[in-house]
Every structure is written in structure tokens, then in C-alpha cells.
Amino acid sequence: MSRILNRPVDVTTGPDGRPAAFRFAGGRERIREVLDTWMETGRWWEQEPELIAYRVETESGGVFELNFIPREQRWLLYKAYD
């Protein structure tokens, strides 16, 4: 199961540009591992941007999907997995 959150989030990146930590529920979540990475192309006819998606596991054991939109230089906390 998962919950769609789709909200802006502050992300700290490592030297390789991949997420290293983010703020969630009033605290800072450090990323233990990037489990998967993929690119998504938006629906161009609706001007949706391309994004880079990261499925990550935090040090506290949570699994989340973070999306980075390069064109806008912003991060979204897209999904939380149960």
C-alpha cells in the first residue's frame, strides 16, 4: 500500500545529485539507500514537465518516492509506502 502525498519538500543532495536527506513530518529523514531511479516524461500536450523519480529507504525504515523536476529545480515528496 502507499499514500500519494505530492507536496513540495526540502531535499539535501549528495555530490552525485541524488537525494541524501529530506524534511518530513517535522523531522529530517536521512536516506539509507536509493532503491530505484527512473525518468518520467510528462504529458507534453498538457505541458507537464519531465521528472526524475527516486524510490528511497530512510534510516528509520520508511520507503518514499521523491521526484525532482529539473526544469523547475524543485523536489516533491510524491509517495509514502506502508
Which comes out higher in pLDDT, residue 74 or 26?
74
43 to 27, 38, 50, 62, 69: CA distances (angstroms) = 34, 16, 9, 30, 14
pLDDT tens per residue, range 58-70: 999 999 999 999 9
6 Ramachandran zone, left/alpha/beta (phi>0; psi -120 to 50): left
Q: What distance in Å separates the CA atoms of residue 20 and residue 50, rounded to the nearest whole number?
A: 21
What residue ranges do the domains of the chain occupy? 2-81
Q: State the pLDDT at residue 37.
A: 98
Mean pLDDT over each residue of the chain, to the nearest integer: 95
Given a cut of 90, whether residue 77 has pLDDT beyond it is yes
Q: What distance in Å separates the CA atoms of residue 48 and residue 36, rounded to the nearest whole number?
A: 22
Given a cut of 90, whether residue 34 has pLDDT beyond it is yes
